[in-house]
Amino acid sequence: MKSRREPKLSRRKILSGAAASAGALATACWLGGCNRASRSLGKKVIVIGIDGMDPRLCRSMMLAGMLPNLAKLASAGSFSNLATSMPPQSPVAWASFINGAGPGSHGIFDFIHRHPHQQCAPFFSAAETLPGEGSIEVGDHRLQFNFPPFSHTLPKTVLRRQGIPFWDELDAKGIPSTFYDLPSNYPPSPSHYGHHRCISGMGTPDVLGTYGTYQYFSDDSPSKGLEEGGGRRSKLRFIRDSAKTTIVGPDNAMLKTPTPTTIEMSVHRDRKSDAALLIVGDHKIMLRAGEWSGWTRLDFKMSTPRPLPSQSASGICRFYLQEVAPHFRLYITPINIDPSKPAVQLSEPKNFITDISNALGLFYTTGFQEDHKARSNGIFNDDEFRQQATMVLEERLTLFEYALKNYEDGLLFFYFSSSDLQSHMFWWNSDEDALHPTRTTPEAASRFQYVKDLYQKLDGIIGDLDQRYGSKVTLFVMSDHGFANFGRQFNVNSWLRDSGYLNPRETTSVLTDVDWSRTRAYGMGINALYLNLKGRERDGIVEPDDTAEKLTKQLIAQLEAVRDVNGQQVIRKVYRSSEIYSGPAMEFAPDLIIGYSRGYRASWETCLGELTPEVLLDNPSPWSADHCADALEVPGVLFSNKSIRSPQPSLTDLAPSILDEFGLPTPKTMTGKSIFQS
């Protein structure tokens, strides 16, 4: 989360919830005609957000002549480490970029937050789906209406990021801004004056309301199927090389007992030609082994009581025939929300994404598009994951070309995710003098080369920008954090158990079997640790006085003293949130934030409060690199074609710097300062 490995808890609970001429006309209206004239006087600022790009790797590759365009940018302008957020998790970091201020301003402190009054009820920190209120029952259905004479409240997903996004300042001055796939902005925040457009990025769900749930069909899957974090396996039973199954869609929430919708799928394989025919509703899809389909629309029918008209939920997916024989293996992407007719708002304004879809066709809309879970769960091998991630990048490059063709002036922000999610799987820097926990040294080096190849491709994109615009634009190339090996994992709740802070010793999960009357502290999320504070937590026992202060000091001292079997320090520093955060959005702040040393991270089980027998253990996952360490261990990068005067630029400085380029002052809500002013 970002690390983005999904917790085992149901993501439904955490997250649920034209012709080219026409497109050209819409673009012309926004950029200058149709009463939307830009008042930015032609000023151009482009920000390229390359998630997870690492300064150490950039330096070494530039010295080796492998990144000539970034090297040119650094020579003519500037290159620096970019201080990231604490913790350096993507929702936290990108929200800090958006507000020009830290977590105390935007209220996002981890991938996972908890509701203290429910004693650890977890939810995705950047957005939360709230249930509706009121209903009427008709047979097997429970219906909600928000129009007279009914007064029901419909379920809705709310953006949990607080504070004022910096583009509001541009919007108010009539300066256009456009953001493509911006993280920490789902649902998209509104444009108050009509000069801001965006497509939501990280945090955007699929039609199931999850981060992304693939579906996998094979003849050797478990007979009852298997639901695993990020996916679902189903068994195919062939009779004379034909089989029938169903693709699972969203729940029909109109039923008293919400039940998943389905679409029938028939599979007919031809072993001799190494191909298969898929019949899905009205679609007939012929694929050879190793071949991907294009995007396919699926309509999931939902029953309704008479006399109401029937309803359907639309989504899009792609099919990948991995193998025909000896075992049949078929992968289906998570069912994305259809950008041509989205069921929920994915952009600001609502028609922005549909205008793009009219021009480009269908494309990924989920926040996490590279299917890392399929790799972690063994559905993909390395080459298949790389192929799928490359397809995502190529699709993103098509969108990037669209963005540039439809950009005139003002601010353009474009986000690339490939550098992060491929690094999670393929990064292994041998300079850190550690053996990969699951790959041989040659294998680790060959996969790391994939990351270097990707950096070179991204370098070419920057070169193309330079050729197009040169000095006519102020260019920022930035990342939210860097990267590090992740070979060992630390379970903070297991450590709390062994140290006597969490009871009983038989506890397996803080969500199910903790004795809160004997528990003084617990972990939830990746870097967060909470006191079981009386008056705040539902079952709190720690008095918020000298007792809490004494406990805090003990925890900090003992955690920073933890050593691995080889004597290495596991935790670089433990921070008090009261000392590193300030602002009006502290409701969900943890008491302590654990900053791990390079090579270490919270264990997978820690994220949602599960315990393991061991406190320290190897990381056996293909997800072998991460950044959820101490912020000082994994800074991001900042390149600019202008000279940076700030000696230590930070993520929170970018918003004031962008405003400065448009001649706007830094708002009092921001803690950052312009990097172009000394």
The dihedral of CA 169, 172, 176, 180: what is its sign?
Answer: positive
Residue 86 CB contacts under 8 Å (≥ 6 apart), including other chains: 92, 575, 580, 593, 595, 630, 631
| Residue corresponding to tokens 């010295």 | 63
DSSP state of 121: E
- Determine the distance from the C-alpha atom of residue 551 to the mean position of all C-alpha atoms in its chain, rounded to a whole number: 34
Task: List, for residues 551-570, the tens digit of each pLDDT value.
Answer: 999 999 999 999 999 999 99
Measure the CA angle with vertex 414, ends 412 and 415; round to 5°.
155
Which residue(s) pair with 332 in the sheet? 215, 319
Domain ranges of the chain: 11-126+161-206+342-485+633-661, 214-332, 487-622
Task: List, for residues 236-292, the tens digit of each pLDDT value.
Answer: 999 999 999 999 999 988 877 888 999 999 999 999 999 999 999 999 999 999 999
Q: What's the CATH class of domain 11-126+161-206+342-485+633-661?
A: alpha beta
> Which residue from 187, 87, 179 is spatially nearest to 127, judged by alpha carbons?
187
Query: What is the pLDDT confidence band of residue 235, given thresholds at 50, 70 and 90?
Result: very high
Task: List, for residues 432-489, the tens digit of each pLDDT value.
Answer: 878 898 899 999 999 999 999 999 999 999 999 999 999 999 999 999 999 999 999 9
Residue 491, pLDDT score: 98
The whole-angstrom separation of Cα 612 and Cα 217 is 31
Inter-axis angle of helices 351-360 and 382-405, nearest 10? 110
Q: Is the pLDDT of residue 8 over 50?
A: no
The whole-angstrom separation of Cα 213 and Cα 227 is 10
> Which residue from 166, 90, 118, 615 is spatially nearest to 368, judged by alpha carbons?
90
**Assessment of whether the complete model's pTM goes beyond 0.85:** yes
- Which tokens belong to 445? 């080096």
> 319 with 328: CB under 8 angstroms?
no
The whole-angstrom separation of Cα 442 and Cα 268 is 40
Q: Is the pLDDT of residue 29 over 90?
A: no
> Which residue from 527, 531, 518, 502 is spatially nearest to 611, judged by alpha carbons?
502
Task: List, for residues 39-97, the tens digit of each pLDDT value.
Answer: 446 899 999 999 999 999 999 999 999 999 999 999 999 999 999 999 999 999 999 99
| Residue corresponding to tokens 């690390």 | 3
Residue 448 CB contacts under 8 Å (≥ 6 apart), including other chains: 426, 427, 428, 429, 430
Q: Is the pLDDT of residue 177 over 50?
A: yes
What's the burial of 220, exposed, middle or buried (CB within 10 Å: 0-12/13-18/19+)?
exposed
* Distance between first and last Cα of the chain: 35
> Which residue from 212, 654, 293, 258 is spatially nearest to 475, judged by alpha carbons?
654
Residue 75 CB contacts under 8 Å (≥ 6 apart), including other chains: none
Distances (CA, A) of 507 to 213, 513, 527, 610: 30, 6, 20, 9
